[in-house]
Amino acid sequence: MLGKREPQPSFSDLEREQRLSPGHFWRQIETKINWQPFAALLQELYPSRRGRPSYPALVLFKALSYG
């Protein structure tokens, strides 16, 4: 799947980790949902390998789901 693949966490990753408590609702959701089937289905959304790396489709899907 195309997408940004950075081993180093971004500032927003670090900020999110500091703001969400260990028992937060979104952390509980992450442990209960297997996201791999969704990632496999969404992989087809990025057929082109040209241009700048895009955000992974699963990240965008989660953003819409959590909103």
Helix (H) or strand (E) holding 26: helix 25-32
Extract the tokens encoding 12.
């927003």
Report DSSP state, residue 53: P
Indicate the domain borders of the chain: 11-66
pTM of the model: 0.57
Per-residue pLDDT tens digits for 26-65: 888 888 989 899 988 888 777 667 777 777 888 888 888 7
Q: Which of 64, 67, 61, 63 is nearest to 42 (CA)?
A: 61
Report DSSP state, residue 55: P
Is the CA virtual torsion 29, 30, 35, 38 positive or negative? positive
Per-residue pLDDT tens digits for 11-28: 877 887 788 788 888 888
